[in-house]
Amino acid sequence: MQQQQGNRFFFNVDWITVLIYIALCAIGFVNIYASVPPEQTTVFGFSTLYGKQLIYIITGLILGLSILLFDGRLFNVFSPFIYGGTLLLLMAVLVIGNKVAGNQAWIAIGSFKLQPAEFAKFGTALLLARYVGAFNPKFRDVKSIMIAGLIVAAPLLLIMLQPDTGSALVFLAFMFPLYREGLSGYFLLIFLGMIVLFIADFLVPTYILIIIITTIAGLFIYNNRRKQKIIFSTVLVTVFAIGYLFLIKIAYEKVLAPHQRSRIELMLGLKTDNKGAGYNVIQSQIAIGSGQGTGRGFLQGTQTKYGYVPEQSTDFIFSTIGEEWGFMGCSVVIGLYMFLLLRLVNLAERQRSTFSRVYGYSVACILFFHVFINIGMTIGIIPVIGIPLPLISYGGSSLWSFTILLFIFLKLDSNRMGFI
Amino acid sequence: MDQLFNRKYIVQGLFIVIALILLGKLFYIQIISDAAFVSAESNVLRKIYKYPARGAILDRNMKVIVQNEPVYDLMVTPNEVKPFDTLALAQALDITFEDVRKNLKKARGKSSYQATPFLKQISVQSYARLQETLYRFPGFRTQDRTIRHYPDSVGGQLFGYVKEVSPVDIEKSEGFYKPGDYKGKSGLEFSYEETLRGEKGVINTVYDAHNTPQGSYADGKYDVNAVSGERLISGIDMRIQKLGEELMMNKVGAIVAIEPASGEILSLISSPGYDPNLLVGRNQGNNYMEFIVGNPYRPSLVRPIMGYYPPGSSFKPVDALIGLQEGVIDPNTTFFCPHYYQAGNRKIKCEHFDGSISLRRGIARSCNTYFCYVFQKLITKNGMKNQRQTYQEWRDKVAKFGFGSKLDIDMPYERKGYFYTADHYDKIYGKRWGYTNVISQAIGQGEITATPLQMANAMAIIANRGYYLKPHLIKGIGDKNLVKKEYVVKNYVGVDARHFEPVIDGMQDAVNTSWGTAILSRIPDVVLCGKTGTVQNPHGKNHSVFIGFAPRDNPKIAIAVIVENAGYGSTYAAPIASYMIEKYLKGSVSGARAAQVEWMKNQNLLPVLKDKTKAVKLTKADSLLLKKADSTKRVKDSLRIKSATIKQTVTTKPKEFKSVIIDKPVIQK
């Protein structure tokens, strides 16, 4: 029996995903090694960034493999406690956390720093999956939407208080699993519309936007003039949209910090500032662009070697890849991520239990948000939002949280034949 | 459930779309655009230029006449500057406290992380003082370069000056010059810029984000050593160049001396001159305004090659030569000189009483009548109807002597003088004109003007008995002593050598006989052949002119001297020429003449300024105006010829004549 279980354990784990995981970690290590200034690479020590990252990778692998040894059902059962635990940590960090670069995001345990926001992701994913798995709501009613929304919103708001907008934004990724479980596509459309209006509000005067919106609404109402319900909802949407426009203006001035405002303006091309707030993005694009087709080669990137891109081993690690490995290297990395993401969705779809499926979707979408925002930021199509590139960026908390996130799903997947 | 399953594809499709957007942007910045690559290079790469020393210039005796002197630019990298003792720096540099702050602000405006000039061209003395305390001023470093030094402090217009390139220069050079480079702006520095400037060296250094040097770029593969400019050997003899400038002190005018056999220019003097060292170093701009622009006698007019003067008597030998060559006269031809020459209604006066006069004596005494007859014979040799044709032929023959066109000297801004073709007179007189209309050209007056260089060159032709080499200042370029090809070609003027001796006889007599015009300028043991000229001009005193060469056999030097508004040719121009020649041939001026040299140096012949501004500025516009007035007057006169008596015309005219040559026997001092 024991023997048989062992066999099942090894046969059912999706080793392809594990291989991609290892490949991405290895790419991360290589590029962190390249990002460290030359004088610090003389001795291979564990005090260096890449030395530490190697420890994180090894411990991460041990962590991941040990997760595979758990009983998958435990995650379902304990999900409320895990969720509650991460919420407590998020509250604790606001009180006892260390302030780094304006964000109170870290809890120091000895020399090791823990970032609760990273762990809140799988806590939230687990509880959301449990809720959907247990009640199987189709999100046609307000109540189920509210409950799901609350599960996501609680950690999101706590992280906003740190304030760590980047990590908080990632929680919007949970829209996609909910969409898969029946949430109306209108929510995605409204979300998309809000982003479009937000950008448009900066580029076009507000009154012109109002004219455009009301004109479209008017035409729409005229076409459907016999259907009262549609007229009513169109008017409602229009009023909300116009109100939203003014809300953006107010929120932009009152809520966003100056550095966030300038990041948005830089991204939209409303201002240029090559030495101040824009320095990071400009230098990152210069480094990536200078890699050209095949890159300058390992350890040959001048921008990387001479430290022109700040935060290069963490949030801007993609600039090292871009410079030293060129378009080819970038394509390989993006290709690997895509392969991983599409595979995760496929794996999620083959789950028997709704819990596993929702969780799988959550993992895929969180990874997707990270990859999209991070790479988009380094090449200047998204404002600077400080979140790491999964598995590649330097950092223990981030690497471990993605490891846990991923390996819990792999464990659930290996158990897919059984009941949970 | 099935319906919701399809939403998988929407999610996966979204992933793929976003991935394609990312790859698209990457493709653009990595493959299509190379802006990032360029920026990356400029991020890490700093070029430190090594400025080469400009080539030196030697004179014909291999004496250094233009050399280099080390100076230092103080460079500052603003973001490396830490608070420092501003006053101490100001004292070390000998500038004011305010200057320090101003310069620092200026440097900050240019670039905060790149070294920009803080103070240029610090002298060796200041540098030595600064070096001891430089460690107290982080962010400052010195960059050594060289500036020009002219040991003899003469030859301002000859050597020209070197200046930092202007934006226009940079644009014209299509990127060859970079801001901070220097370039010859006039004189020899300008003409031989490409030889003198050398090649700039560059050291490519890689810098990190904190602006700390990280060693050489690509192991120095792209580094270049500075190559000094090549040296030039000029034909100038600094001994007579210096003597000439001293002799011309407080006088306005020009001297050009040429070695006839080679065309090498022995000295080229423009007066008032200036010390070329004034236009070196930090005070260049101020000195330029004060000493060049501010001088009412216009030193910026390089008179030897830009000044227009009627050649006057220097033209008579040319006339005689063409007459001999064309066969209208022979060495024994005599004309009767009634103290004037009558051309139609015009009378050209002579200042001597000889009666019947021969060619030799005609030249020695500069007889206007004689050469008007020669001219008349030349123009009318094919009959009265073909005068236009023969004038044009005559003009082309004279042009071969270098009049009316540039001689292509290796100096910028050379001008060609006026010497008109038959077409020009067609425009003024219609088709009906003859020798009487243009008779003043017979004696080098009227509408013909020449530069002192052209006059000296005409002397070189006579000295060579029939040819010249293009006058040039530089006879050897670089270690191989290259010389431009055009400067070794003999240009024949189309007059047979045998015709020269009678003319030279006359010129010898002018200096060496008791009836000559320049007998006081005789040089012991040297046969000097020459002609004086006293060019009357309507704006002031006469110009004093002398042209000549020596010795008669195997001539070593041909010279033209013009002293503006100085009176008789024999009083100033001829002695100056003789001192120059004696110094050149013998090494020094000896005997009683040495005292005369000192006397001459002390003569102040500067014209009164009010007249001066008009008289000296014989600019193109001026002479055009004069010429026009002169020509129209003559047209009017010729129309009036029937109604007016000759006497009336004569009494109204003399003062309105533009200029008349009056050659006089020497007046004893």
Looking at residue A66, its pLDDT comes to: 92
Write the residue in A306, A334, A368 that is nearest to B208 by C-beta.
Answer: A306
Write the residue in B22, B23, B40 that is nearest to A286 by C-beta.
Answer: B40
Q: Are residues A172 and A281 in the same domain?
A: yes
Other Cβ atoms less than 10 A from the Cβ of A77: the count is: 12
Q: Are residues A177 and A28 in the same domain?
A: yes
Q: Are residues B182 and B269 in the same domain?
A: no
Strand partners, B530: B548
Q: Are residues A310 and A407 in the same domain?
A: yes
Of all residues in chain A, what percent carry a pLDDT higher than 90?
A: 40
Question: Does the beta-carbon distance from A290 to B31 stay under 8 Å?
Answer: no
Contacts of A341 (CB under 8 A, 6+ apart): A364, A367, A368, A371, B12, B15
For residue A125, pLDDT over 50 is answered with yes
For B205, counting Cβ atoms within 10 Å of its Cβ (0-12 exposed, 13-18 middle, 19+ buried), the class is: middle
Write the residue in B8, B22, B44 that is nearest to A306 by C-beta.
Answer: B44
Question: Does the beta-carbon distance from B22 to A361 stay under 8 Å?
Answer: no
End-to-end CA distance of chain B: 131
The CATH number for B627's domain is 3.40.710.10
Looking at residue B179, its pLDDT comes to: 79
Q: Are residues B131 and B255 in the same domain?
A: no
* Residue B469 maps to a domain: yes
Q: Are residues A139 and A62 in the same domain?
A: yes
Looking at residue A20, its pLDDT comes to: 96
Q: List chain B residues with CB under 8 Å of A176.
A: 11
* Residue B5 maps to a domain: no
Write the residue in B4, B29, B40 that is nearest to A182 by C-beta.
Answer: B4
Looking at residue B619, its pLDDT comes to: 54
pLDDT greater at residue A71 or residue B260: B260
Under 8 Å between Cβ of B532 and B554: no
Domain housing B380:
241-274+301-656
Question: Does the beta-carbon distance from B22 to A375 stay under 8 Å?
Answer: yes
Tokens encoding A122: 């799988």
For residue A189, pLDDT over 90 is answered with no
Q: Are residues B320 and B203 in the same domain?
A: no
Which residue of chain B is at minimal alpha-carbon distance from A331?
Answer: B23
- Quick one: which of A133, A105, A129, A109 has its CA closest to A119? A105
Strands B474-477 and B490-492: unpaired
Question: Does the beta-carbon distance from B30 to A330 stay under 8 Å?
Answer: yes
Write the residue in B12, B23, B29 that is nearest to A289 by C-beta.
Answer: B29
* Cα B344 from Cα B436, distance rounded (Å): 6
Interface of B with A (CB under 8 A): 4-5, 7-8, 10-12, 15-16, 18-19, 21-23, 25-27, 29-31, 33-37, 39-41, 43-44, 206-210, 214
Q: Are residues B310 and B210 in the same domain?
A: no
pLDDT band, residue B286 (cuts 50/70/90): confident
Looking at residue B669, its pLDDT comes to: 35
Which residue of chain B is at minimal alpha-carbon distance from A38?
Answer: B214
Looking at residue A276, its pLDDT comes to: 62
Under 8 Å between Cβ of A277 and B14: no
Q: Are residues A219 and A109 in the same domain?
A: no
The DSSP code sequence of B593-655 is HHHHHHHHHT---PPPHHHHHHHH---HHHHHHHHHHHHHHHHHHHHHTTTS-HHHHHHHSGG
Angle between helices B315-326 and B387-399 in degrees, nearest 10? 120
Looking at residue B451, its pLDDT comes to: 92
* Residue B32 maps to a domain: no
Contacts of B366 (CB under 8 A, 6+ apart): B313, B316, B352, B510, B517, B531, B532, B533, B661, B663
The overall average pLDDT reported for chain B is 83
Question: Does the beta-carbon distance from A283 to B43 stay under 8 Å?
Answer: yes
Q: Are residues A278 and A207 in the same domain?
A: no
Q: Are residues B82 and B195 in the same domain?
A: yes
Say whether B32 sits in a helix, a strand or coil: helix
Report, as an integer, the average pLDDT of B199-226. 81
Q: Are residues B199 and B261 in the same domain?
A: no
* Residue B286 maps to a domain: no
Strands lying side by side in the sheet with B264-271? B264-271, B253-259, B557-563, B540-550, B529-537
Which residue of chain A is at minimal alpha-carbon distance from B11?
Answer: A176
Looking at residue B651, its pLDDT comes to: 34
- Quick one: which of B307, B322, B547 has its CA closest to B416? B307
Best residue in A176, A294, A338 for a mutation probing chain B (most B CBs within 10 Å): A338
* Residue A293 maps to a domain: yes
- Single residue among A229, A247, A267 that ends a domain in this structure: A267
* Residue A6 maps to a domain: no
The CATH number for B133's domain is 3.90.1310.10
pTM score, whole prediction: 0.65
Tokens encoding B79: 């973001």
Q: Are residues A181 and A322 in the same domain?
A: yes
- Single residue among A267, A284, A311 that ends a domain in this structure: A267
pLDDT band, residue B637 (cuts 50/70/90): very low
Strand partners, B450: B309
Under 8 Å between Cβ of B446 and B661: no
Which residue of chain B is at minimal alpha-carbon distance from A302?
Answer: B44
Under 8 Å between Cβ of B118 and B103: yes
Which residue of chain B is at minimal alpha-carbon distance from A305?
Answer: B208
Looking at residue B254, its pLDDT comes to: 93
Amino acid sitting at position B55: G
Tokens encoding B287: 């000195």
DSSP class of residue B526? B
Tell me the per-residue pLDDT of B341-389, one tens digit each, with 9 for 90 and over.
887 777 888 877 778 888 888 888 888 888 888 988 888 888 888 888 8
pLDDT greater at residue A10 or residue B89: B89
Q: What ipTM did this prediction achieve? A: 0.91
Looking at residue A101, its pLDDT comes to: 64
Q: List chain A residues with CB under 8 Å of B33.
A: 289
Which residue of chain B is at minimal alpha-carbon distance from A307?
Answer: B209
Using omega within 30 degrees of 0 as the cis cutoff, is the peptide bond preceding B52 cis? no
Under 8 Å between Cβ of B240 and B263: no
Q: Are residues A126 and A176 in the same domain?
A: yes
Residue B199, CA atoms < 13 Å, CB-side half-sphere: 7
For residue B121, pLDDT over 90 is answered with no
Question: Does the beta-carbon distance from B15 to A341 stay under 8 Å?
Answer: yes
- Single residue among A235, A267, A299 that ends a domain in this structure: A267
Q: Are residues B499 and B598 in the same domain?
A: yes
* Residue B560 maps to a domain: yes
**Number of residue pairs across A and B with CB atoms under 8 Å?**
117
Q: Are residues B255 and B151 in the same domain?
A: no
Looking at residue B614, its pLDDT comes to: 45
Contacts of A349 (CB under 8 A, 6+ apart): A357, B5, B8
* Residue A4 maps to a domain: no
The total number of structural domains in chain B stands at 2
Amino acid sitting at position B181: D
For residue B593, how far is the Cα from the chain centroid? 31
Tell me the per-residue pLDDT of B128-139, one tens digit each, with 9 for 90 and over.
888 888 888 888
Q: Are residues A182 and A231 in the same domain?
A: no
Q: Are residues B206 and B307 in the same domain?
A: no
Strand partners, B71: B145
* Residue A201 maps to a domain: yes
For B610, counting Cβ atoms within 10 Å of its Cβ (0-12 exposed, 13-18 middle, 19+ buried), the class is: exposed
Q: Are residues B269 and B160 in the same domain?
A: no
The total number of structural domains in chain A stands at 2
For residue B571, how far is the Cα from the chain centroid? 27
Closest-CA distance, A326 to chain B, in angstroms, reads 7
Domain housing A356:
14-187+273-414
* Residue A197 maps to a domain: yes
* Cα B234 from Cα A41, distance rounded (Å): 61
Looking at residue B652, its pLDDT comes to: 34
Q: Are residues B247 and B177 in the same domain?
A: no
Report, as an integer, the average pLDDT of B602-612. 71
- Single residue among B201, B232, B263 that ends a domain in this structure: B232
Q: Are residues B187 and B246 in the same domain?
A: no
Looking at residue A176, its pLDDT comes to: 92
* Residue B19 maps to a domain: no
* Residue B183 maps to a domain: yes
pLDDT band, residue B660 (cuts 50/70/90): very low
Ranking A120-129, A274-283, B37-46, B340-349 by mean pLDDT, the lowest is A274-283
